[in-house]
């Protein structure tokens, strides 16, 4: 489904991704892990066409995504920081995205789920970080895309919403979707992930299930497994 | 693209600054006409003002909008929309909303003072269209500068510098070099140099209207041909169109390569 | 009106000279050609020319006569010679059409040539395709009224003047229309004459040209799109009033040139859209008052030694440059004019600005030195250097100021 071939990207002298290649063929949840600055977000942005790779390419359903934009119809993206135009109202930003994508969507149930109804007429600039993240989640999950990309989805969420989000992710997974997640919350990754891609200094140093990672590092939980990789 | 344009445009039209800009032109128009009570005199004064002011406003708005709408841009980039469409749509949003403020802001006072009953409507249209062209050109240049500079302060500084260069410094250098090389034939240089600066270009179109008697006083054959016939007007307009297009092309090309 | 007066004069001359008779001239009449007619009739008679083309190269009129053309009466010079040569006093010529004078580089062939005549009237004639139109020499007390001279000159050296006076006195030139000639109206050594309400346009050189002529007046004429409007040279005591100088464009083209002029009056004229409105060269004691300068390149350009000229109560509206000097010297006075570009204020409400106005801009000095810099007119940079010069004059005459600029346009 998604094939990543030799992706290389530098910002100035800093090499963020160095010949990264991997394939995601089956549906399920893939977590992309790594320390700060390891290139996780950059990779996701390349996948979404927001950052242009220096070398290499990504195939989505066999099609090269560079110079294409239609494939983004099939991807929903939750950016790391929920930033919106400040003087738009919540309902305006939702209807704008609906208008631009022009696809069947179901925002109402999500609005209800996260209790956003009372904020619909508020300007985004006046909302708290957590509420904005909820709007962000609504925008991401309201479309029925086969691929969902979540960059730090839990940032700023209260526990209740976190539980709702996890349920939501699991529900989408059950529909046979590919879900890419980056997160620093290891418990979340351990709970959800079918597969883990571990990035370190621009290279993949591990790819496989959480169990394999634990077995390889001979540790009890994911947090320690990662710590061990980083130490070695 | 229409959609992107629509959202940028409505976003801008609701913003305080567009209203301030509109109010400024309304005030300028009414005050000028109130003081002069003469449309053609008002137009002459405005021509001098517009050649400097619209590029400045275009530059400042262009840069400001680009940096302030980064979130909006990023939101759009993840959507199934072409990059060129996103940037071109936003560019049109800024340029058209600014041009509209100009046209409405000056149009209302002039209409109120009886534009249609006067013989100056052609001059007034020339005034508005050169103002609109300058807005389009300088918004594009400003967004280009913003695209090349991620640092806000730097980008803002360069953009103001660019305006200052085209509005004042360029003419100073031109005058200085013409005085230094006064012994050589200069009419080619004078015309070519004016064509390489969009502000000078619009100014020359205004000169063609207001100062043709003075321009024809100079002996150079090229000047005579250029200012004495329609050649001047045709050449200036086509050059202005060229000036509008290349920064847009640069803008879109840079936007294609930019990382967000 | 003028036509009426002329006919009255002509008729009264017929009535009161009891022995004068009127004769018809036509191809079938007793007097079939003009040359026969002129020879046959006696002193003071009237010739009525019927419709028809009369071959008449170089016909001389040597006795007082009245020639009246009926509509369609045409005198044809057959491109050989003058058409009519008037060599007598008291000749009246009216209503005739003149075509085809000779062309020469040595002789000034004219449709109507008048030599040493006193009391003559030329009225309502039409002159087409002639080398010179009306040429008057050593004559006085004549009137040239309501004639039309139409040429198609393109070059100065191959064309003559429309109405040309040389060594004359007390002539009235009124309501004529001249176009397409070298100079529309030319006067040399002509004193005490008036040029009123003529329309001189599209002439190759000047609309009106004065040389060595004193005590003349020209008023209410219109000069439009000539090579240059009016050139007044080497003359004294000339009054110029209520004329209009329009659209005289081109290199060193001007509405009015005053060269070596003394004690003249330039009053209530309009100078509109000329490259130079008034070009003053070596002229002194000239009063300029009540004139309107509108959208000229240079409203007034002063060069050479010009002393004690006074500019007062003039309007300067939308000129690219109001006043231009080529030196730092100034001995002329600018007072109480209305300057369209004046930016001062009138707090004491006395109708004059509280801040003096400097009509000479630094940029006009720069353009004098380097003409190509004109393309920078109205640029911000030029405004800045003009402003700095205004604050502390270094290149322009520092005593050239209008201390009481008017706040209101003079009507």
Q: Which of B171, B182, B219 sits opposite C381 (nearest CB)?
A: B171
- Name the band, by pLDDT with cuts 50, 70 and 90, for residue C8: low
Mean of per-residue pLDDT scores for chain C: 90
Task: Check CB contact under 8 Å for B71 and A83.
Answer: yes
Q: How many CB atoms lie within 10 A of CB A121?
A: 10
Q: What whole-number distance in Å separates Cα of residue C228 and Cα of residue C255?
A: 6
Examine the pLDDT at C14 and tell me if it is beyond 70. Answer: no
CB–CB of B217 and C380 under 8 A? Answer: no
Mean pLDDT of B223-229: 76
Q: Nearest residue on chain A to B85, judged by CA atoms?
A: A69
Tell me which residue has tokens 């309304």: B26
Question: Do A and C count as touching (3 or more CB pairs closer than 8 A)?
Answer: no
Q: Spell out the residues 6+ positions from residue B118 whose beta carbon is closer than 8 angstroms to its own.
A: B39, B40
CATH number of C1-226: 2.160.20.10
pLDDT tens readout for residues B158-181: 999 999 999 999 999 999 999 999
Residue in A closest to B81 by C-alpha = A69
Least confidently predicted of A156-160, C347-351, C394-398:
C394-398
Set of chain A residues whose Cβ sits within 8 Å of the Cβ of B7 = 96
Question: CA-to-CA distance for A204 and A19, rounded, in angstroms?
Answer: 9
Structure tokens at B101: 């403020």
Task: Compute the Cα dihedral for A207, A212, A214, A217 and give only its sign.
Answer: negative
Tell me what pLDDT residue B13 has. Answer: 78
What residues form DSSP beta bridges with A204?
A: A199
Q: Are B190 and C375 within 8 A, CB to CB?
A: yes
B84 touches chain A (CB under 8 A): no
* Whole-number average pLDDT of chain B: 87
Per-residue pLDDT reduced to its tens digit, A170-188: 998 898 889 999 888 888 8
pLDDT over 90 at C91, yes or no? yes
Q: List, for residues C151-187, the tens digit of each pLDDT value.
A: 988 887 788 999 999 999 999 999 999 999 999 999 9
Residue whose tokens read 């109206």: C185
Distance of alpha carbon B216 from alpha carbon C4, whole angstroms = 44
Q: What DSSP assignment string belongs to A56-122?
A: EEEEETTEE-TT--GGGGGEEEE-SS----TTSBHHHHHHHHHHHH-S-B-HHHHHHHTT-GGGTTS
Instruction: Name chain A contacts of B258, Cβ cutoff 8 Å.
Output: 52
Name the residue facing A87 among B15, B81, B256 (closest C-beta).
B15
Do B204 and C274 make contact, defined as CB atoms within 8 angstroms?
no
Task: Say if residue C220's pLDDT is above 80.
Answer: yes
pLDDT confidence of residue C12: 55
Question: Is there a contact between A100 and B78 if contact means CB atoms under 8 Å apart?
Answer: no
Q: Right CATH number for A2-231 from 3.40.50.150, 2.60.120.260, 3.90.920.10, 3.40.50.300?
A: 3.40.50.300
State the nearest Cα–Cα gap between B204 and chain C, in angstroms.
7
Tens digit of pLDDT for each residue in B52-72? Answer: 999 999 999 999 989 988 878
| Residue A4: predicted pLDDT | 85
Per-residue confidence band for B182, with pLDDT thresholds at 50, 70 and 90: confident
Indicate the residue of A49, A72, A85 with minimum beta-carbon distance to B69: A85
How far is residue C104's CA from residue C131's CA, in Å, rounded to a whole number? Answer: 8
Band (C262; pLDDT cuts 50, 70, 90) = very high
pLDDT by residue (tens digit) across B68-100? 888 788 888 888 888 888 899 889 989 999 999
Of the candidates B3, B78, B256, which has its C-beta nearest A50's C-beta? B78
Q: What is the pLDDT, as a whole number, of residue C17?
A: 52
Which residues from C are below 8 Å from B210, CB to CB? 295, 318, 320, 378
| Cα separation, B171 vs A104, whole angstroms | 57
Q: Which chain C residues have a beta carbon less than 8 Å from that of B174?
A: 376
Using an 8 Å CB-CB cutoff, list chain C residues near B217.
250-253, 275-276, 297-298, 371, 374
CB contact (8 A) between residue A79 and residue B75: yes
Judged by DSSP in three states, C241 sits in strand
What is the average pLDDT across C381-398?
Answer: 85
Asked if B206 and B126 count as a contact pair (C-beta separation under 8 A), the reply is yes
Does pLDDT of A90 surpass 80? yes
CA dihedral (A121, A126, A128, A134) positive or negative = positive
Mutate to test the interface with B, among A75, A87, A127, A151 (most CBs of B within 10 A): A87
Q: Testing the interface with A: which of B17, B77, B94 to mutate, by most A Cβ within 10 A? A: B77
Report d(CA B66, CA C352) in Å as an integer. Answer: 50
Most confidently predicted of B102-116, C137-151, C251-265, C394-408: C137-151
pLDDT value, residue C261: 93
**Domain range summary for chain A, segments of one domain joined by +:** 2-231
Q: Are A204 and A22 in contact (CB under 8 A)?
A: yes
Interface with B, mutate which of A11, A14, A42, A52 (most B CBs under 10 A)? A52
Chain B residues in contact with A72 by the CB 8 A cut-off are 78-81
Report pLDDT for A183.
Answer: 85
| Closest approach of B22 to chain C, Cα-based (Å) | 23
Tell how far CA B201 is from the center of its chain. 10
High-pLDDT (> 90) share of chain B, % = 42
Of B7, B72, B78, the CB nearest to A48: B78
Q: What is the percentage of chain A residues whose pLDDT exceeds 70? A: 100
User: Which one is predicted more confidently, B217 or C246?
Assistant: C246
pLDDT at C7: 59
Element (H, E) at C16: helix C2-16
**A39 min Cα distance to partner chain B (Å):** 14
**Range with the poorest average pLDDT among A222-226, B196-200, C93-97:** A222-226
Any idea which of B87-96, B225-234, C219-228 has the lowest mean pLDDT? B225-234
Mean pLDDT of C58-66: 93
State the pLDDT confidence band at B22, using cuts at 50, 70 and 90: very high
CB contact at 8 A, B46 and B125? no
Closest-CA distance of chain A to residue B101, Å: 20
Phi, psi of C73 (to 5 degrees): -85, 120
Report the predicted TM-score, pTM, of the whole model to 2 decimal places: 0.82
Percent of chain C clearing pLDDT 70 (strictly above): 95
Nearest CA-CA distance, residue A216 and chain B, Å:
36
Q: Which of A121-130, C172-181, C314-323 has the lowest mean pLDDT?
A: A121-130
CATH 2.160.20.10 residue ranges of chain C are: 1-226
Assembly ipTM = 0.86
d(C-alpha A220, C-alpha A223), whole Å: 9
Chain B residue closest to A148 (CA)?
A: B78
Name subunits touching B (3+ CB pairs < 8 A).
A, C
A96 Cβ partners below 8 Å, 6+ apart? A88, B7
What average pLDDT does this structure show over A19-31?
Answer: 86
Closest chain A C-alpha to B82 CA, distance in angstroms: 6
Q: What is the pLDDT of residue C10?
A: 57
């Amino acid at each position: 489904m998604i094939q990543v071939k030799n992706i290389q990207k530098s910002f100035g002298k800093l090499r963020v991704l160095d010949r990264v290649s991997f394939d995601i063929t089956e549906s399920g949840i893939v977590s992309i892990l790594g320390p700060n600055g390891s290139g996780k977000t950059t990779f996701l942005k390349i996948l979404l066409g927001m950052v242009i790779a220096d070398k290499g390419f990504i195939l989505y359903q066999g099609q090269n995504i560079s110079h294409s934009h239609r494939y983004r119809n099939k991807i929903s993206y939750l950016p790391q920081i929920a930033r919106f135009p400040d003087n738009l109202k919540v309902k305006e930003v939702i209807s704008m995205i609906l208008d631009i994508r022009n696809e069947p969507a179901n925002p109402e149930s999500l609005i209800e789920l996260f209790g956003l109804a009372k904020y619909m007429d508020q300007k985004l600039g006046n909302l708290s970080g957590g509420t904005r993240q909820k709007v962000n989640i609504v925008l991401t999950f309201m479309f029925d895309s086969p691929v969902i990309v979540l960059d730090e989805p839990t940032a700023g969420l209260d526990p209740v919403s976190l539980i709702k989000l996890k349920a939501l992710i699991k529900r989408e997974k059950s529909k046979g979707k590919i879900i890419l997640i980056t997160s620093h919350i290891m418990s979340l990754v351990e709970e959800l992930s079918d597969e883990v891609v571990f990035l370190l200094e621009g290279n993949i140093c591990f790819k496989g299930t959480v169990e394999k990672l634990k077995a390889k590092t001979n540790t009890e939980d994911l947090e320690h497994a990662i710590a061990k990789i980083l130490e070695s | 693209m229409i959609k992107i344009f629509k959202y940028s445009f409505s976003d801008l039209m609701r913003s305080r600054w567009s209203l301030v800009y509109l109010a400024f032109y309304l005030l300028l128009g009414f005050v000028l006409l109130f003081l002069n009570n003469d449309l053609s005199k008002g137009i002459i004064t405005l021509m001098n003002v517009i050649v400097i002011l619209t590029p400045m406003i275009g530059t400042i708005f262009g840069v400001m909008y680009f940096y302030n709408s980064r979130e909006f841009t990023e939101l759009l980039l993840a959507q199934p929309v072409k990059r060129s469409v996103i940037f071109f749509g936003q560019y049109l949003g800024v340029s058209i909303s600014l041009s509209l403020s100009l046209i409405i802001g000056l149009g209302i006072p002039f209409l109120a003072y009886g534009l249609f009953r006067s013989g100056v409507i052609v001059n007034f249209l020339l005034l508005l269209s050169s103002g609109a062209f300058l807005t389009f050109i300088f918004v594009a240049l400003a967004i280009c500068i913003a695209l090349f500079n991620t640092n806000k302060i730097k980008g803002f500084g360069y953009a103001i510098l660019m305006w200052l260069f085209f509005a004042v410094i360029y003419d100073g250098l031109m005058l200085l070099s013409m005085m230094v090389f006064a012994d050589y034939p200069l009419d080619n240089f004078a015309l070519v140099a004016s064509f390489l600066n969009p502000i000078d270009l619009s100014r020359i179109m205004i000169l063609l209207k207001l100062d043709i008697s003075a321009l024809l006083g100079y002996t150079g054959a090229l000047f005579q041909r250029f200012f004495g016939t329609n050649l001047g007007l045709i050449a200036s307009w086509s050059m202005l169109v060229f000036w509008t297009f290349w920064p847009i092309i640069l803008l879109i090309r840079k936007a294609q390569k930019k990382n967000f | 009106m003028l036509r009426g007066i002329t006919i009255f004069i002509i008729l009264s001359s017929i009535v009161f000279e009891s022995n004068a008779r009127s004769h018809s001239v036509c191809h079938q009449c007793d007097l079939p050609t003009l040359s026969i007619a002129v020879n046959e009739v006696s002193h003071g008679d009237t010739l009525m020319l019927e419709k028809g083309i009369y071959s008449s190269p170089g016909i001389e009129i040597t006795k007082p006569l009245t020639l009246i053309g009926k509509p369609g009466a045409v005198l044809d010079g057959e491109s050989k010679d003058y058409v009519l040569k008037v060599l007598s006093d008291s000749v009246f010529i009216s209503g005739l059409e003149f075509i085809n004078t000779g062309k020469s580089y040595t002789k000034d062939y004219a449709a109507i040539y008048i030599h040493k005549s006193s009391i003559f009237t030329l009225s309502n004639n039409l002159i087409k395709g002639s080398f010179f139109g009306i040429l008057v020499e050593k004559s006085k007390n004549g009137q040239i009224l309501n004639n039309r001279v139409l040429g198609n000159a393109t070059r100065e050296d191959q064309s003559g003047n429309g109405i040309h006076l040389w060594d004359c006195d007390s002539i009235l030139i009124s309501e004529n229309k001249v176009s397409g000639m070298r100079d529309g109206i030319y006067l040399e050594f002509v004193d005490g004459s008036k040029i009123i309400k003529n329309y001189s346009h599209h002439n190759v050189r000047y609309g009106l040209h004065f040389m060595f002529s004193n005590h003349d007046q020209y008023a209410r004429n219109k000069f439009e799109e000539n090579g240059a409007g009016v050139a007044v040279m080497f003359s004294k005591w000339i009054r110029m009033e209520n004329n209009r100088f329009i659209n005289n464009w081109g290199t060193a083209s001007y509405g009015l040139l005053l060269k070596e002029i003394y004690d003249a009056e330039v009053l209530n004229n309009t100078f509109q859209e000329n490259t130079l409105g008034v070009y003053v060269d070596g002229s002194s004691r000239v009063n300029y008052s009540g004139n309107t300068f509108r959208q000229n390149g240079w409203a007034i350009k002063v060069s050479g030694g010009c002393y004690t000229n006074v500019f007062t109560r003039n309007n300067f509206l939308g000129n690219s440059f109001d006043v231009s000097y080529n030196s730092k010297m100034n001995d002329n006075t600018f007072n109480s004019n209305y300057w369209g570009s004046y930016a001062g204020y009138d707090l004491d409400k006395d109708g004059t600005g509280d801040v003096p106005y400097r009509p000479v801009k630094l940029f006009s000095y720069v353009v004098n030195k380097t003409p190509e810099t004109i393309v920078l007119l109205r640029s911000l940079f030029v405004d800045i250097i003009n402003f700095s010069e205004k604050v502390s004059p270094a290149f322009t005459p520092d005593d050239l100021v209008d201390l009481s600029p008017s706040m209101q346009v003079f009507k």
